[in-house]
Amino acid sequence: MRMKFNKSSQLVLVAAASLLAASLVTACSQIDQTLTVDFVFVASSKAAGANNYGQIDVFEINSESGKMRHIPASPFPSGGRDPVSEAVSADYGSLFVANQDDNNIVQFVIGTDGKLYPYNTVNTPGIFPVAIAANKANLFVVDTYQPLAICSTADPCSGSIGVFPLTTATSTVPVAIGAPVTNAAISASYWPIQLAGSSDIIVPTAINIASGSNDGSNAYVYVAAYDSSVSPTAGYIFGFQVGSGGVLSALPGSPFAAGTQPSGIASDSTGSYLYVTDFARSDVLGYSIAASGALTSLAASPFPAGNQPSAIVVDPAYPYAYVVNSLDATIEAYSVSNGELSFLGGSSTPVIYSTGTQPVAVGIDPSTERFIFTANFLNDNVSGFELSPSAGSLVESQFSPFPSDDWPTAVAAIPHNGTGGGVEPQ
């Protein structure tokens, strides 16, 4: 039997077909465009697994809610015991993890889905790495002790910094780590972090690279440290210029005075200002960076912070800085103007937000520069926030805090497909 359609029936069918087509287009758009803006890598130091390795939790950040969710297969073994610091390559293709108890740096290739694949392992030039940083040309590592026979936990000595050249990645070969650079002055692959003519024990705590050329040259490297042989301890920033092939030379005036016990260090995106948290004095020291790399204290420095500030991050897109106070379990927000820090919005009192217990690291997502996260050491979790670009205030991300493995110590992040489905800085 042949069916007969009238004009109204035809209109209904056309409308239904149009709706179906629109639904398919929308579905395809949703498939093509993800809401994930970043992958965040959180190192957890407590031994886990058959080999007592630390762990790397990998989270994806949702662009709409800020929710951080474990990717499938997370966590991944860190490739060593007690991971304490992380850095990513300039092309966002590799994650470097420093494992303190094994004196090594493990390089992971990062998959397009955020998964980690062990690629290379190198030994650090010194003993017990404490911090690493990378730019396009070099990977820098700060060790607690120099590689001397007299150095041990029972008989400590001053720390050191080493440099590994990095090759440029290709479409088929990831970044490669070269042999450590030789310090011709001592015929060894490290530069001592110590006071000239003194036997005092200098303890390094953090490292920062101030921006140089696009190829990673002409950069300045700063190491926060303190003299543990005096009471109260005395803080310093050791500054180096990075020369050809990664060779370091001390900056004029280095080391620079830096309070009592510097803990975290960060510079702004232009390389014009440097900031150091003072764990013992509960403040933040600010410096301007001269063309020579030399540091000069800012007029209003030091700036007040909470109790035992452990880390600081400066937003690369917006005029704000954020400090985590480990004893208070808070993150504190600042406005930044000509390098000077002030309480957010001109407030006469600190603007603070609660985190998990003992936050020790803080990061900002590199895709939108709007999502902030802290690693909370004693709560075994990560706190997430979204900042207001116009005000700098923070709103807790949906379902924050997010569980991590035990004793998280470090954070690093890469953008997902550049802009995470079209989300751009505002």
Q: Which residue segments constitute the domains of the chain, with CATH numbers given?
A: 37-415 (2.130.10.10)
> What H or E segment, with its residue span, contains residue 73?
none
pLDDT of residue 212: 75
| Of 394, 193, 404, 206, nearest in space to 309 by CA | 206
Amino acid residing at 309: P
Task: Give 4-19 pLDDT, tens digit per residue.
Answer: 445 444 544 444 444 4
Confidence band (pLDDT; 50, 70, 90) for 33?
A: low
Mean pLDDT along residues 23-30:
40
Say how far apart CA 282 and CA 259 lie, in whole Å: 10
Q: Which amino acid is at 73?
A: A
Asked whether the predicted pLDDT for residue 71 surpasses 50, the reply is yes
Q: What is the mean pLDDT of residues 280-300?
A: 97
pLDDT band for position 171 (50/70/90)? confident
Q: Is the pLDDT at 399 greater than 50, yes or no?
A: yes
pLDDT in tens, 334-379: 999 999 999 998 899 999 999 999 999 999 999 999 999 999 999 9
Please give the helix or strand (H or E) that residue 278 lies within, else none: strand 273-278
Asked if residue 67 has pLDDT above 70, the reply is yes
Q: How confident is the model at residue 211 (pLDDT cuts 50, 70, 90)?
A: confident
Per-residue pLDDT tens digits for 188-197: 999 999 999 9
Whether the predicted pLDDT of 419 surpasses 50: no
Query: What is the dihedral sign for C-alpha 129, 131, 136, 137?
Result: negative
Residue 30: pLDDT over 80: no
Mean pLDDT of 156-168: 96
Average pLDDT over residues 109-116: 94
With 70 as the cut, is the pLDDT of residue 45 above it? yes
Rounded mean pLDDT of the chain?
90
Please give the pLDDT value at position 46. 82
DSSP bridge partners of 67: none
Report pTM.
0.90
pLDDT more than 70, % of the chain = 89
> What DSSP line would sit under 287-345, residue for residue?
EEE-TTS-EEE-TT-SEE--SSEEEEEE-SSSSEEEEEETTTTEEEEEEEETTEEEEGG
| 152 has pLDDT over 50 | yes
pLDDT at 258 over 50: yes
Q: Report the alpha-carbon distance of residue 124 to residue 135 in Å, rounded.
A: 17
The pLDDT value recorded for residue 172 is 84
